[in-house]
Structure 1
Amino acid sequence: MARMVFCKKYQQELEGLALPPMPGARGKELFETVSKKAWQEWLQHQTMLINEKRLNLMDPDARTYLTEQMDKFLNNENFDAAEGFVPKD
């Protein structure tokens, strides 16, 4: 049986992640409050941001930017979209 969490993005009980997505307290918090569905959507959005904005993940500023965008995305706040991207309806 799948592990269920109350997803902070969708505000409902959904299937949780199998493992914390990163080490430490931050990973534990995401593991307990983010659904598998929301995390997969974030990973797709993150990839678009990295590609569109040509982010260098060796740059600490780029990693900080992605962390800020992840927080906004998962908390349903205004987050940056890839320029020229038109989401499907």
Structure 2
Amino acid sequence: MNSIPFEKCPVCGGDLIEKQVEKVLRGGVNTAVLKVCAEVCLRCGERLYSQETVRKFEQIRSKLERKETAEFQEIGVSYQVA
């Protein structure tokens, strides 16, 4: 993930590794569970997301608020709506 500007965790200074993680997003009364890549601190568990991933989160939250769950596949992330 070359768009993450940190070599070490900005919270504790620990080493970061790239991992696939689950992220829960809520919009209105709807919830989506996403699987995305993040840089994760080995010491404290802090997660750092790329700017592109954060933009996708914002798009999905907006769609959840409008109940447009059918369009998530276009964004390019795995999801489940709860």
Pair in the same fold by TM > 0.5 = no
Please state which structure has a larger fraction of its residues in strand: 2
Please state which structure has a larger fraction of its residues in helix: 1
> Which of the pair has the greater relative contact order for Cα pairs under 8 Å at 6+ separation?
2
Query: Which TM-score band applies after superposition, normalised by the shorter structure?
Result: 0.3 to 0.5
